[in-house]
Amino acid sequence: MRDILFVIFIVFTSLISSASANPNSANGFNLNGALVPIDEILSGGPPKDGIPAIDKPVFVKAPSAKNMRDDERVLGITRNGISKAYPINIMNYHEIVNDRFGDEAIAVTYCPLCGSGIAFKADVANKTLSFGVSGLLYNSDVLLYDRQTQSLWSQILSKAVTGPMKSNTLTAVPITHTSWADWRKQQPDTLVLSDETGFRRNYQNNPYAGYDEHEGLMFPVKFRAKGYHPKEQVFGLKINDKAKAYPFVELAKGSGEVRDSIDGQNITVRFDKTHKSAQAFDAEGKQIAGVTLFWFAWYTFNPQTAIYRIK
């Protein structure tokens, strides 16, 4: 009952906000000249920064993360000799962590409605950007905003769709969406984002409980695909604008390793059925950036996608 009431509240507040808003602005953002249809930019309910990004993340070493369960889902990143894990339980409440790996600024993002965790280089067009949560959605996906120019950025498109940074793109970095036990085994020296975030949240309570099991969406999307459950997890890859989806239900039928080619580039996708995790590697064995997310979310942004299937 609690989950149903949560969904009703979100949709109701979104409809009220959309009905009363200036059509050329939303949550204080100027939408003039947007690269996507303005009427498809919707309020998710919270105001700008109503979902607070984490700007001063605190990390602990893996042995000190006593409250982490082995099956807890995390986003794992290794860069510049540093490994870090970002628990989904925390990302559900904050969606963005503005972080650094040595001298490199990295924005770690997660959209609970799309199940999409993507990390980006924060240096764009000779600016180091920090990001916040706009409270707006496009195709049910979070629209980030950068504090330097107030431009809106689509997470899954990896592109600014409004503002002075419009048409600039974000460079994704490799990220692993897996269990805490698996990431800890891969990277035993990993740090993990502490739940001492400076905000009062019950991080053991999932505000989206049950959402990933139901076919219904909270917000409309431009394209809807059949063939798989809308919330089926897929691993999505784009190489030179060629997109391909690797549904977990298909990967689970195989050996755990798929050798493939996208736009002439040889890749290997490795799937761990136990930990429900997929990674991609180039011909030299270097991990390449992909995204684990719900099928509906991948398809609505990539309606021409190829799909890996085992016959």
pLDDT tens digit string along 93-139?
Answer: 999 999 999 999 999 999 999 999 999 999 999 999 999 999 999 99
pLDDT band at residue 305, thresholds of 50, 70 and 90? Answer: very high
DSSP-assigned letter for residue 54:
B
pLDDT band at residue 223, thresholds of 50, 70 and 90? Answer: confident
Please determine, for residue 200, whether its predicted confidence score (pLDDT) is greater than 70: yes
Amino acid code (one letter) for 27: N
Q: According to the model, what pLDDT value does residue 16 have?
A: 42
**The dihedral sign for the CA sequence 14, 49, 173, 269:** negative
Beta strands in 94-241, from DSSP E residues, in sequence order:
96-101, 104-111, 116-121, 123-124, 127-128, 131-138, 141-146, 152-154, 159-160, 172-173, 176-179, 191-193, 233-239
CA distance 263 to 242: 6
Percent of residues, the chain, with pLDDT higher than 90: 88
The residue whose two tokens read 């009703």 is: 8
Average pLDDT, the chain: 93
pLDDT band at residue 180, thresholds of 50, 70 and 90? Answer: very high
CA distance 272 to 256: 6
Write the pLDDT tens digit of every residue in 14-71. Answer: 444 443 446 789 999 999 999 999 999 999 999 999 999 999 999 999 999 989 999 9
Higher pLDDT, 8 or 252: 252
Q: According to the model, what pLDDT value does residue 22 have?
A: 60
Nearest to 14 by CA among 140, 150, 151: 140
What does the block give as tokens for 7? 């969904």
Please determine, for residue 259, whether its predicted confidence score (pLDDT) is greater than 70: yes
pLDDT band at residue 2, thresholds of 50, 70 and 90? Answer: very low
Write the pLDDT tens digit of every residue in 276-301. Answer: 999 999 999 999 999 999 999 999 99
Mean pLDDT in residue range 164-183 = 98
CA distance 78 to 68: 19
Higher pLDDT, 274 or 11: 274
Percent of residues, the chain, with pLDDT higher than 70: 93
